[in-house]
Structure 1
Amino acid sequence: MWSYIARRLVYSFLTLVAVSVVSFIIIQLPPGDFLTSLMSKYAEQGGGEIDQGVLESLQLRYGLDQPWYVQYWLWISGIVFHGDFGQSFAWNKPVSELMWDRMGLTLLLSLVALIVTWLVALPIGIYSAVRRYSALDYVVTFLGFIGLAIPSFLLSLALMYVLSRYAGMSVGGLFSASYINAPWSWGKVLDLAAHLWLPVLVLSTSGTAALIRVMRANLIDELHKPYVQTARANGLGEMELLFKYPVRVALNPFVSTIGWVLPHLFSGAVIVSVVLSLPTAGPVLLSALLSQDMYLAGSFIMVLSVLTVIGTLISDLLLAWLDPRVRYQ
């Protein structure tokens, strides 16, 4: 067990190094850099030219006049040895400050969406498999196909229009205007709860529909295997038999999704976050990529990579514990 974990950690470290190098190179592939974009934008706004001394100091500090591997080393060594993710040129703030400001709300939103997805998909998927071709199974199948077919951003726009037009509700964002910059209090928590349901509904719809179909298909396959018939012949009750054996095996897809769920917690469905004006990490990452803010974009990509590796490791360990057929070798 421990040798397996140690081996996986070594592989994970090598993977992260490779991902960080590739990500840094990709961010720098477009022609020019952020300083070039900054000078052009400043000139378009009628600000003239930026002081040459300021540009030279930025180039010297971050090695922007050096080859990419020098810039990469300055960046990655700052993260590893000093916890310094660099400076966001677009926001003129430390990258760590920008990331941590949005990380809490991103985690809260996505974790709630994940819990809702599992709480809804698991029992409905089990019922659809056990009561196959029943009226409820047909209804759930129909709604599931609709949930899979409608893009999340389109569902967001439709719900915003309906709620605003016919219910007179103020939609978008996670806080009312009076609470956006207010310190945390019980009133702010209640205001967050009042705004949280809409993005949770949008983010969980497609995932719920997909997991229902997966759970139904896997459980139907397990219910017709010989070990189920043997357990039933030995007098095991239907409910006990269902949850002790076939449901446990059919849970594998739920556990295996942790590998991509953790990075999804931080990316937070970028387009949905932009449409609903959510203060999550996704819009900041999109803005950083568009403006070639390389330290901000690279740091977010590194966080997503670390979460993917950690999630995959957790999935493997849970699968080995859940399903005896999975072996560490």
Structure 2
Amino acid sequence: MGILSYILQRILLSIPVVIVISIICFGLIQLPPGDYADAYAALASSTGGGSVSTEYIEQIRERYGLDQPFWIQYWKWVKGFPEGDFGIAMSLQGTPVAEILKERLPMTLFINFWALIFALAIALPIGLYSATHKYSLLDYLLTFIAFIGIAIPGFILAVIIIAISIFWLDSSYIGKLYSNEFIGKPWTSDKIIDFLKHLPAPIIAIGIAQTSNTMRIMRGNMLDVLRQPFIQTARAKGLSESAVNWRHGARIAVNPIISRIGVYLPEIIATEMLVSIVLNLNTIGPLFYDSLIAQDMYLAGTILLIISVILVLGNLLADILLAISDPRIKHELM
């Protein structure tokens, strides 16, 4: 079986997985007691809007089909997927979910992508260096920093970044993704520059935990590889220590990191959701939180499904990259 056949097989196996995930996602959103109509009535009462009549609540249920059985509601939701129709956001005056995601999802993916690149770009070389300089003073220092990074949640780090920026750096580039004067404006060179100035804070807050975790994993992988017989053989042939470490050891040590890409993606997205709420970013994090509070099943279910699909795609991508990068797997597929 060739690599292309392997990729096709993995894609076909992913289809029923996504279908099952969609059912689970839609069911999870409906598990809490009540529905959007009840949440709407509670919100109106708590904000001083007065009590909502039972007749009006029933009208809301009938308008959005909330009084229908689960399977009918689920079918109404998924039948429009091929056309890009994910239902309407009841909590946002009936705005199509696809229209809302079109505005926020690209920015979310952009930030998560660069947070992942940030984590890997820092963690891989530091992990390799720490392994090849085992028990040195710098190794101990890097290990200590890594444990601190793992211990601090992303949203706490976001608060720390805000505090440092405001009280010590006197920076106005914390919170949101661009300044108020650029909100709702088309992308220009000035807006792009302003956006880039706002970008480091969320990327660091989101990526630092993965950086620390990946660094520890890479160090452990490299130490295991350096004890393998083929490394001793390479040294016996007279290869330089740098060639042994970087050309032979690093190639094998990085494979478990590649296989974890499917895990990294949902972890980074989960961190991004919390960080985006703290930093008030225009991504799906605050949107997902608000939709859960409002029990907006179509909006919350779609966001949860997208996150789950990203997990499936991440695992698929990891399998493909591992098949390409690992000669042993590539040989088995040929």
Tell me if TM exceeds 0.5: yes
Residue-by-residue CA offset, 1:210-269 (whole Å, 9 max, x unaligned): 111111111011112110111121233332332232111110232122213344565552
Taking only the aligned residue pairs, the percentage that are identical comes to 39
CA distance in 2, matches of 1:41, 1:151: 31
CA distance in 2, matches of 1:60, 1:3: 48
Q: Residue 154 of structure 2 contacts residue 205 of structure 2 at CA under 8 Å; is this kept in 1?
A: yes
Structure 2 letter corresponding to 1:11: L
Q: Residue 262 of structure 2 contacts residue 312 of structure 2 at CA under 8 Å; is this kept in 1?
A: yes
Counterpart in the other structure of 2:233: 230
After superposition, the Cα gap between the structure-2 partners of 1:23 and 1:195, relative to the gap in structure 1 and judged at 3 Å, is same
CA distance in 2, matches of 1:264, 1:98: 23
CA distance in 2, matches of 1:295, 1:105: 21
Pick the aligned partner of 1:72 from 74, 87, 95: 74
Greater shift in the superposed pair: 161-170 or 304-313? 161-170
Counterpart in the other structure of 2:92: 91
Q: Number of matched residues? A: 327
> CA-atom RMSD, angstroms?
2.2
Q: Residue 155 of structure 2 contacts residue 271 of structure 2 at CA under 8 Å; is this kept in 1?
A: no
CA distance in 1, matches of 2:149, 2:213: 8
CA distance in 2, matches of 1:72, 1:85: 11
Q: Secondary structure at the match of 1:245?
A: helix
CA distance in 2, matches of 1:128, 1:43: 58
* TM score, norm. by length of structure 2: 0.90
Residue-by-residue CA offset, 1:179-223 (whole Å, 9 max, x unaligned): 122221100111011111111111121111111111111101111
CA distance in 1, matches of 2:57, 2:85: 21
Counterpart in the other structure of 2:27: 25
After superposition, the Cα gap between the structure-2 partners of 1:71 and 1:174, relative to the gap in structure 1 and judged at 3 Å, is same
CA distance in 1, matches of 2:188, 2:267: 28
After superposition, the Cα gap between the structure-2 partners of 1:229 and 1:255, relative to the gap in structure 1 and judged at 3 Å, is same
CA distance in 2, matches of 1:242, 1:182: 50
Pick the aligned partner of 2:326 from 310, 320, 323: 323
After superposition, the Cα gap between the structure-2 partners of 1:61 and 1:75, relative to the gap in structure 1 and judged at 3 Å, is farther
* TM score, norm. by length of structure 1: 0.92
Question: 1:180-329 counterparts in 2 under 5 A?
Answer: 180-264=183-267, 266-267=269-270, 269-326=272-329, 327=332
List gaps (5 residues or longer) in structure 1: none
CA distance in 2, matches of 1:153, 1:26: 24
CA distance in 2, matches of 1:124, 1:61: 57
Q: Secondary structure at the match of 1:173?
A: coil
CA distance in 1, matches of 2:209, 2:80: 39
CA distance in 2, matches of 1:301, 1:119: 28
Structure 2 letter corresponding to 1:89: M
CA distance in 2, matches of 1:159, 1:41: 33
Greater shift in the superposed pair: 34-43 or 184-193? 34-43
Displacement of 1:48: 5.7
Structure 2 letter corresponding to 1:235: G
Q: Residue 263 of structure 2 contacts residue 311 of structure 2 at CA under 8 Å; is this kept in 1?
A: yes
Structure 1 letter corresponding to 2:78: I
Structure 2 letter corresponding to 1:125: G
Q: Residue 111 of structure 1 contacts residue 265 of structure 1 at CA under 8 Å; is this kept in 2?
A: no
Residue-by-residue CA offset, 1:67-103 (whole Å, 9 max, x unaligned): 10011011111213x3210010111211111112111
List gaps (5 residues or longer) in structure 2: none
Residue-by-residue CA offset, 1:25-76 (whole Å, 9 max, x unaligned): 12112222102222343355336647958964x5456432211001101111
Counterpart in the other structure of 2:119: 117
Displacement of 1:107: 1.9
Q: Secondary structure at the match of 1:164?
A: helix
Structure 2 letter corresponding to 1:159: I
